[in-house]
């Protein structure tokens, strides 16, 4: 006797049919693997059995890029907040010490001017020591006023030079508290700076790749569009980060164009010799926005230069791989030619057997 199975609900059948489509199992190929690159699709089956309709979504790269932009903005905000907190801390720790040093140096200068007729050797040596110490701490005198560098803007620029590992050496903390704080500030600030530079470089790279893809789709010339896009981005980066900033330094610092270009390259490559540093001339008046703009230029310029250096490294690695591949192919072709010649050429035994066959009388019918 056969038992009759209970009938199933059509809605339940539809849900069961949709399960393999909507779930992502590890033992099945994903949609991204079964479809062309740049597109993903899914199927929705209707309960009426009318078939399946497919829809397409942008690729995973575009979705990842859209998620990456807000994350980069948050990372940039955290980076700026970190720099501002460090600037305020250095300003609070080094500012009073700098003011006391400036006041003491002004008093020494005033006493020297009053007693210049009876100047002793010890007083002159003491004044010279104060001058050297104040110069190392970044303090300068102009008339009866002191030009300190541990204000908030100077502290901010010091924080930028610290976390970017440029380290000009013209300004350094003098108190023990500030030195200990500088150690921990750089310990956490340098990794944060590297992460931010990496993220900015990825955004630049994705922007260049997107422009190349759009140009390739429009003109149906993928390779030429990629070369054109990379060339334009390289030229734009050279203008924005290496060729135009020396004009600003020439106008504000009074340097020559060659000196400004030298400073730009030494700064962006984080060499930081310290022979050329902005805002060091006491005879010039600097705008309030000057060091902040230079700090942003350093941040984005380092990201661009790191991208260019990585591109050069990849080109060198690809060229070396190509050379190794060509050498391997040439060796394989040479070996094939040698093997072919050995197979074609006849040895002495082969020649003797051939001669014996030719002299052997024919067999009777």
Separation in Å, CA 109 to CA 46, 114, 115, 337? 92, 9, 10, 90
Q: What is the pLDDT of residue 297?
A: 96
Q: What is the pLDDT of residue 312?
A: 80
Strand extents, DSSP E, the chain: 39-45, 52-58, 140-142, 145-147
How many CA atoms, within 13 angstroms, populate the side-chain half-sphere of residue 77?
6
SS3 55: strand
CATH numbers and ranges of domains, the chain: 64-318 (1.10.287.70)
Q: What is the pLDDT of residue 348?
A: 53
Q: The pTM is what? A: 0.64
Distance in angstroms (rounded) separating the CA atoms of residues 104 and 139: 12
Distance in angstroms (rounded) separating the CA atoms of residues 183 and 179: 6
SS3 296: helix
Task: List phi, psi (to 5°) of 146.
Answer: -110, 140
The two tokens of residue 292 are: 């902040």
Q: What is the pLDDT of residue 114?
A: 74
Q: What is the pLDDT of residue 58?
A: 44
Distance in angstroms (rounded) separating the CA atoms of residues 126 and 144: 19
Q: What is the pLDDT of residue 259?
A: 96
Q: What is the pLDDT of residue 140?
A: 65
Angle separating helix axes 222-238 and 290-344, nearest 10 degrees: 140
- Cα distance from N-terminal residue to C-terminal residue, the chain: 84
The two tokens of residue 109 are: 């200068």
Decide: residue 265, CB within 10 A, 0-12 exposed, 13-18 middle, 19+ buried. Answer: middle
Which residues touch 88 (CB under 8 Å, ≥6 apart)? 152, 155
Distance in angstroms (rounded) separating the CA atoms of residues 163 and 158: 9
Q: What is the DSSP secondary structure assignment for residue 286, as one 8-state letter?
A: P
Q: What is the pLDDT of residue 350?
A: 53
Whether 21 and 43 have beta carbons less than 8 Å apart is answered as yes
Whether 234 and 204 have beta carbons less than 8 Å apart is answered as no
Q: What is the pLDDT of residue 70?
A: 82
Q: What is the pLDDT of residue 343?
A: 61
The two tokens of residue 251 are: 């106008």
Q: What is the pLDDT of residue 213?
A: 87
Question: Token pair 């970017």 is at which residue?
Answer: 164
Distance in angstroms (rounded) separating the CA atoms of residues 90 and 149: 11
Question: Token pair 């250096």 is at which residue?
Answer: 309
Q: Which stretches of the chain score pLDDT less than 70?
A: 1-68, 113, 116-121, 134-148, 321-322, 341-365
């Amino acid at each position: 006797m056969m038992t009759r199975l209970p009938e199933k609900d059509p809605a339940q059948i539809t849900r069961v049919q949709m399960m393999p489509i909507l779930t992502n199992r590890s033992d099945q190929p994903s949609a991204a693997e079964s479809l062309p690159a740049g597109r993903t699709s899914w199927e929705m089956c209707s309960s009426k059995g009318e078939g399946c309709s497919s829809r397409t979504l942008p690729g995973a790269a575009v979705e990842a890029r859209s998620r990456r932009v807000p994350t980069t903005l948050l990372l940039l905000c955290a980076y700026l907040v970190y720099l501002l907190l460090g600037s305020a801390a250095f300003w609070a720790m080094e500012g009073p010490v700098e003011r006391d040093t400036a006041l003491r140096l002004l008093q020494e200068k005033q006493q020297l001017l009053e007693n210049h007729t009876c100047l002793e050797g010890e007083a002159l040596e003491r004044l010279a020591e104060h001058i050297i110490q104040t110069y190392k701490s970044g303090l300068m005198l102009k008339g009866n006023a002191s030009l300190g560098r541990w204000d908030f803007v100077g502290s901010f620029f010091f924080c930028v030079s610290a976390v970017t590992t440029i380290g000009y050496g013209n300004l350094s903390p003098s108190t023990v508290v500030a030195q200990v704080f500088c150690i921990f500030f750089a310990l956490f600030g340098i990794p944060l700076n590297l992460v931010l530079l990496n993220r900015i470089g990825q955004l630049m790279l994705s922007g260049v790749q997107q422009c190349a893809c759009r140009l390739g789709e429009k003109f149906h010339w993928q390779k030429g569009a990629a070369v054109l896009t990379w060339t334009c981005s390289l030229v734009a980066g050279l203008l924005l980060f290496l060729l135009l900033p020396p004009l600003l330094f020439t106008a504000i610092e009074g340097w020559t164009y060659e000196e400004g270009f030298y400073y730009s390259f030494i700064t962006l490559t984080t060499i930081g010799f310290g022979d050329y540093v902005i805002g060091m001339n006491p005879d010039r008046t600097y705008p309030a926005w000057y060091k902040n703009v230079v700090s942003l230029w350093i941040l984005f310029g380092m990201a661009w230069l790191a991208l260019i250096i990585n591109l050069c490294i990849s080109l060198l690695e690809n060229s070396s791989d190509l050379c190794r591949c060509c050498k391997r192919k040439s060796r394989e072709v040479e070996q094939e030619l040698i093997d072919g010649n050995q197979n074609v050429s006849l040895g002495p035994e082969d020649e003797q057997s051939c001669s014996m066959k030719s002299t052997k009388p024919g067999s009777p019918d």
